[in-house]
Amino acid sequence: MGVILGVASGCTTAATLDPTPSAVAVLPLNSEKYASVVVDGSTGVVLYSANADLPRIPASLTKMMTLYLTFEALQSGRITKSTLIPMSAHAASQAPSKLGVRPGQAIDVDTAIKAIVVKSANDVAVALAEYLGGSEEQFAALMTEKARRLGMKGTNFHNASGLPDPQQITTARDMALLGLALRRHYPGQYYYFAVHEFAFNGKLIRGHNRVLDQVNGADGIKTGYVRASGFNIVTSVSDNGRQLVAVVMGGDTARSRDAQVVNLVNQYLPQVASR
C-alpha cells in the first residue's frame, strides 16, 4: 500500500507514500494463493494491497501481455485488423479453452483479439505469438522483455497463453501495472476488453467475465484459471472521470473471486481521483 504506480512511454516509476488508512477494511479471501491490489488509474496510487508482491501464477492473465504486444504491432503498422494469422499444428494442439481453428487455416487479427478476450482461446494466443515472434518461445522472451520495461519486476513469461508452466510467474502488482499500461498506451484498441461476445463461423461466442455486468463502468480486462493458480481477475473501471484497476488472484471459485473484486471496486472507487 501507499505506492504510486506510474506508466508512461513504456516505463514505470514508483515512489513511496503514506499507507492508506482504510486499506485494511476489505478482508482477503481465505486462500493461500490469494493476492490483490487496487490502484487509482489516474494517479497510480495504490489504495489497497494484500500479498501484492508475492509470486503468483498468472494463468490466462498472461494473455494481457500477448494482447499488449499485438496492440503494439497494430499501432506501429506491422499488422492490421485484417491481417491473416495462420494456425500451426502446434497452436491448434493447445489445450482448451480454444477456438478450434484447424491447422493450415487462418483468422484475421480482429477475430483473433476477440477470441482471446472473450473465449480466452489458447490456440489463437499461440498462433499470434508465432506470427509476431517467429516462435512461441521467442515471443515469450519478448513478453518478458516488455514486462521489464513496464516495471514488472516479478514477472516471467514462458508461453503466450497462460497454460501451466512452472517458469511462468507474476505478482498482483505487476498485473495492475500491465492493466494500467494497456489503457494508457493503447486507448484506440482498449475497447476490445469490454467485448462480451462475437460471431465466428456462424456461431455466437459469449464471454465469461461476469464482472462486466456487475459493476457500473467496468470495461475489462481479463479472467484466468488453472488449478495451481486458483481463479484470477484483473478488472478495470472507468466511471464519471474516475479510473481504477483491481486485481484479485487465487480465488477458490469464480463466484468468490468476482464477489471480492466487486467488493474492492465498490469500496475504493469513491477514493479515486477524478480527472
CB atoms within 10 A of CB 19: 13
Catalytic residue among 36, 49, 60, 161: 60
Q: State yes or no: is 135 an active-site residue.
A: no
Q: Which residues pair with 184 in a beta bridge?
A: none
CA distance from start to end of the chain: 22
Distances (CA, A) of 25 to 79, 90, 216: 46, 47, 22
Distance CA 201, CA 88 (A): 19
**222 assigned binding-site residue:** yes
197-200 vs 203-206, strand pairing mode: antiparallel
Question: Which one of the listed residues 49, 120, 229, 238 is annotated catalytic?
Answer: 120
The residue type of 75 is Q
Cell of 139: 515471443
Does 146 qualify as catalytic in the annotation? no
* All cell numbers assigned to 155: 514477472
Pick the catalytic residue from 33, 36, 49, 63. Answer: 63
User: Is 63 known to be catalytic?
Assistant: yes
Best CA proximity match to 175, nearest among 166, 163, 164, 162: 162
**Which residues contribute to the annotated binding site for substrate?**
222
> What residue numbers does the annotated binding site cover?
222
Q: Mind telling me the catalytic residues?
A: 60, 63, 120
